[in-house]
């Protein structure tokens, strides 16, 4: 009791909620003029904004495979991202999904510090979501699954 412990050489690193690749996906959508004209900045991870303003986009990483070679860790990551497009009518949802497809499918380049080797649309499908009873409104959705290869 009464012993003193000292720690030297400590550093603190701020950890963001979003990873660099998530920020890159967000930026590709947000700064695409066609997408931005439809959703303004209603692009968020996983959940749509609470105010319910549509159209809106959500994104989430479904899986991420970190490759290795006989020499150790490889810096190539293969991730699968799901982008959900929502609007209050089916036509608007399809228009938004087409804009997202145009922004991401076959993209390659550097976004911020992230080197994206390639993004490919892998799968897509319709979503239907009924909001809580108090709102009594419908929203339609389209799911787009993209395979993203990037260097970490």
> What confidence tens digit (pLDDT) does each residue in 46-92 have?
887 667 789 999 999 998 888 777 777 778 889 999 999 999 889 99
In the chain the domains, ranked by start, together with CATH numbers, are: 29-151 (3.30.2000)
- Kindly report, residue by residue over 6-30, the tens digit of the pLDDT: 656 544 433 333 479 999 999 999 9
Task: With beta carbons less than 8 A apart as the criterion, state whether 90 and 140 touch.
Answer: yes
If one compares 130 and 86, the residue with the highest pLDDT of the two is: 86
pLDDT value, residue 14: 37
pLDDT classification of 41: cutoffs 50, 70, 90:
confident
Please classify residue 55 by burial: count the beta carbons closer than 10 Å to its beta carbon, then call 0-12 exposed, 13-18 middle and 19+ buried: buried
Q: What is the pTM of this model?
A: 0.79
What's residue 45's pLDDT?
92
How far, in Å, CA of 120 to CA of 72, rounded? 27
pLDDT at position 98: 98
Residue with tokens 């991870």: 45
CA nearest to 55, candidates 43, 73, 69: 43
């Amino acid at each position: 009791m009464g012993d003193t412990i000292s720690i030297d050489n400590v550093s603190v690193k701020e950890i963001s909620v979003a990873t660099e690749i998530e920020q890159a996906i967000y930026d590709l959508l947000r700064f695409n003029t066609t997408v931005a004209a439809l959703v303004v900045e209603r692009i968020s991870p996983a959940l749509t904004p609470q105010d319910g303003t549509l159209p809106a986009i959500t994104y989430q990483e479904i899986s991420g495979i970190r490759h290795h070679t006989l020499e150790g860790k490889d810096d190539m990551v293969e991730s699968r991202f799901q982008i959900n497009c929502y609007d209050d009518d089916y036509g608007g949802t399809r228009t938004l999904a087409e804009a997202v497809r145009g922004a991401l499918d076959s993209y390659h380049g550097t976004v911020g510090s992230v080197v994206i080797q390639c993004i490919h649309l892998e799968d897509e499908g319709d979503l239907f979501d009924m909001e809580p009873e108090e709102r009594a409104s419908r929203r339609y959705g389209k799911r787009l699954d993209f395979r993203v290869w990037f260097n970490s």
